[in-house]
Structure 1
Amino acid sequence: MEFGLFTVFDNYKNYKATFERTPEQLLHEVLEQTVVADGLGYNAAWFAEHHFSEYGILTTPQTFLAIAAERTENIRLGTAIVTLPFKNPIQVAEDYALLDVLSNGRLNLGLGSGYLPHEFAGFNVEGKDKALRFNDSLAVIEKAWKGEKFSHHGDYYQFTDIKLEVIPKQKEVPIWIGTLSNNGANFVGKMGYNISGVPYVACNSIAELKDIIDSYKDTYRKAGHNEKKVKVPLALHTYVAETTEEAIAIAKPHLDLYLDTRMYGKSAKYQDLRDREQVLIGSPEDVIAMLKRYQDAGCDHIMMLMNFGGLPHEKVLKSMELIAKEVMPAFNKSAEKELLVEVDQGV
């Protein structure tokens, strides 16, 4: 199991006078959290892109990630997600190729077709053909990153005899496509890409999630792709304290605020997510037990959404440190034990 941070950048500074925090303050807090995560051994930091709403104030992840890359050394830097229908695919290919070079090959690229009506309206883009536009855009990016002169004449994008001078440092940039619907996941599996997502938006239980992941992997394998390349990162709201009671008391009001103001998602409260086993809020022992259930369901990278709903920066850092100290080692030991068993058996 790998451990990452995930930030949506929700900043409801005027919501019911709950808290006051400027966009500038939040951006600098997340940068500090990323630096701390790098020092604590987290595998990745993921950042959402949104537009025209306090639900998510980070509009250009590539700019933010470039600063994070300069301040960190090992942590991988990811998008969750870049909404392709809103952008020129050549600009996406150029920007994120440069980011991969500047970060010394640490880019995790999460892509999606978008789901918020007000964002499509803001960009004056029709949502009805977003999947087709997404596929055409992704095809352009893949061609551009080969570093050769190419042409592309699709239904939405046309380019003739162009070539990028800067291509990604990684031979193969890992790409995730945001979906946890059964049909969407299977379609991505046929394409040979990884999936990622937020379970509570798409599923009602861990069992339902497992069925979707199993079907995706089966489709991926039957399409002739190498299943060893599959990595499924899932995002769960997370807060860890010394006791279950303390964690709930601190995190619940902030999670309820986030859920109350989430746009166009499932209507839910903390109790709903708790009952569906879709939060990681509790003691280290609580969270370890829940993570093992997600691991059994096929999740191998947990995107911990820890700075939700105005949760104070110092409490986020405290939770991050406790996770690194008490939760992450439980999975490192498990991996070491499996390796020893393989060695003993001569595998």
Structure 2
Amino acid sequence: MLRFSNFLFPESRDPAQDSRVIDESLAEARLCDALGVEVLWLAEHHFDGNCAYVDPVTFAAAVAASTTRIRVGFAVAQVSLHHPVRLAEQMALLDNIAHGRLIVGLGRGTAYNVYEYQGYGIAWQEAQARYEEAEQVMLRAWTSPEGFEHRGRFWTLKVPRLRPTPYTRPHPYVLRAASSEEGAIALGRRGLPFMMNVQSLEVTRRRMALYRAAMREAGHDEAHIARCVAESWVWRNVVVAETDAEAARIGIPAFEAMQEHRRRMRETVEAEQGIVMRREAAPPARVQVEHALIHGSPDTVAERMAELDAIGVGGVICSFRLGPMPAEVAAESIRLFMTRVAPRFRSRRAPPAAAAE
């Protein structure tokens, strides 16, 4: 049955409000821990206020230290912006602080905000290649008790044994993001679970089918396929209220304000820099209410979740606090979800699928 998590992705448009939003975000993490949310996912975005805590590695340490049950995941760490040995070291420390509750979600980095690359002195065109090389270095750092040497395109390294050693053996649990159909198929061939960004129900159904088919064609057995599917997650924005009308009144304006704010910021950056990192011919699913926002009474939201459950996804990454939504409104939505929606789906925790080849 379906599993549920919270994507803690708080917006802060005013720098003077950053501290308040960060405090509210920690309170939301503690609430999710108390209510039995399985995973708290953290984002990484710099310089634009889209994510108030900015650095998920530092913030994850605070979350891990102030919670006891909830798993702490990255959706995702922008690997191309980090030195891989430093990031491997930080993740090993977090894995110890969280006593194995860590999910190291890895991705290449933003495809929209060139400021994030410019601010770190990295060419945005190198993001994918940096990510691929960095992942290899991180896995070797975690699993090489005698140390290792690496000679690649971006890093030439002579690395002693990493300390602290990871709490989880052979290394912290790793999960990759796949923002395209090709990416999902590639991870399926490797027999690895994945995170899917916001898509329509139809696209979600098709990608999961292609993902399963890729695993079968690559020779993975049905037990391994089931484990990978159980550890794969899809993202939706979620607002729960007592009635459908109240959820629409609260959720739709907050969702639309969030998307409009992000659109304006993107256009401003593109105009200032003369750089368009990605062009989209039509509005993507992530900005469309009918695809990206599940809202309604507990009964209505449960029906929408059942549609995802029928596809066979492992879990849903729910974003509850949307754009300018007040913290207390998001908190009530989370309470309603966890007390009146989630109990309708029998919880399960499948054993982690293979985290790396």
Q: Same fold (TM over 0.5)?
A: yes
How many Å apart are 1:329 and its aligned residue?
0.7
How many Å apart are 1:227 and its aligned residue?
1.9
Deviates more, 1:167-176 or 1:253-262: 167-176
Distance, in Å, in 1 between the alignment partners of 2:65 and 2:254 is 31
Distance, in Å, in 2 between the alignment partners of 1:310 and 1:154 is 43
Structure 1 position 275 matched with structure 2 position 290: yes
The 5-angstrom pairing of residues 191-230 of structure 1 reads: 191-199=190-198, 203=199, 205-225=200-220, 226-230=224-228
Deviations 1:94-141 (A, max 9, x none): 001100101111101111111232212222212223222211100001
The 5-angstrom pairing of residues 191-340 of structure 1 reads: 191-199=190-198, 203=199, 205-225=200-220, 226-230=224-228, 231-262=231-262, 273-276=288-291, 278-332=292-346
Amino acid corresponding to residue 232 of structure 1 in structure 2: S
Query: Is the 1:152–1:160 contact (alpha carbons within 8 Å) kept by the matching residues of 2?
Result: yes
Query: Is the 1:238–1:306 contact (alpha carbons within 8 Å) kept by the matching residues of 2?
Result: yes
Amino acid corresponding to residue 196 of structure 2 in structure 1: G
Structure 1, unmatched stretches of 5+, are: 15-20, 336-347
Query: Is the 1:256–1:270 contact (alpha carbons within 8 Å) kept by the matching residues of 2?
Result: no
How many Å apart are 1:28 and its aligned residue?
0.8
Distance, in Å, in 2 between the alignment partners of 1:52 and 1:271 is 22
Secondary structure of 2:307's counterpart equals: helix
Query: Is the 1:259–1:268 contact (alpha carbons within 8 Å) kept by the matching residues of 2?
Result: no
Deviations 1:149-186 (A, max 9, x none): 11212222221242102122112432222223111222
Find the counterpart in structure 1 of residue 115 from structure 2: 118
Query: Is the 2:178–2:194 contact (alpha carbons within 8 Å) kept by the matching residues of 1?
Result: yes
Amino acid corresponding to residue 127 of structure 1 in structure 2: W
Distance, in Å, in 2 between the alignment partners of 1:268 and 1:258 is 15
Residues 271 and 64 of structure 1: CA distance in aligned 2, closer, same or farther (over 3 Å): closer
Amino acid corresponding to residue 14 of structure 2 in structure 1: K
How many Å apart are 1:224 and its aligned residue?
4.3
Deviations 1:223-262 (A, max 9, x none): 3453243122122111100100001101121111111122
Structure 1 position 28 matched with structure 2 position 28: no
Equivalences, count = 324
Determine which structure has greater relative contact order: mean sequence separation of CA pairs < 8 Å that are 6+ residues apart, divided by chain length: 2
How many Å apart are 1:320 and its aligned residue?
0.9
Residues 156 and 270 of structure 1: CA distance in aligned 2, closer, same or farther (over 3 Å): closer
Deviates more, 1:38-47 or 1:54-63: 54-63
Distance, in Å, in 1 between the alignment partners of 2:114 and 2:182 is 21
Find the counterpart in structure 2 of residue 17 from structure 1: none
**Paired-residue identity, %:** 25
Distance, in Å, in 2 between the alignment partners of 1:7 and 1:229 is 25
Distance, in Å, in 1 between the alignment partners of 2:106 and 2:210 is 21
Find the counterpart in structure 2 of residue 137 from structure 1: 134
Amino acid corresponding to residue 6 of structure 1 in structure 2: F
* TM-score normalised by length of structure 1: 0.87
Give the alignment partner of residue 72 of structure 2, picking from 69, 77, 87: 77
How many Å apart are 1:142 and its aligned residue?
0.5
Structure 2, unmatched stretches of 5+, are: 267-277, 349-357
How many Å apart are 1:271 and its aligned residue?
12
Query: Is the 2:141–2:159 contact (alpha carbons within 8 Å) kept by the matching residues of 1?
Result: no
Query: Is the 2:70–2:101 contact (alpha carbons within 8 Å) kept by the matching residues of 1?
Result: yes
Query: Is the 2:244–2:296 contact (alpha carbons within 8 Å) kept by the matching residues of 1?
Result: yes
Distance, in Å, in 2 between the alignment partners of 1:40 and 1:155 is 46
Query: Is the 1:5–1:303 contact (alpha carbons within 8 Å) kept by the matching residues of 2?
Result: yes
Query: Is the 2:191–2:225 contact (alpha carbons within 8 Å) kept by the matching residues of 1?
Result: no
Secondary structure of 2:117's counterpart equals: helix
Deviates more, 1:160-169 or 1:87-96: 160-169
How many Å apart are 1:270 and its aligned residue?
11
Amino acid corresponding to residue 182 of structure 1 in structure 2: E
- Give runs of ≥4 in structure 1 deviating > 4 Å: 263-272
How many Å apart are 1:197 and its aligned residue?
3.1
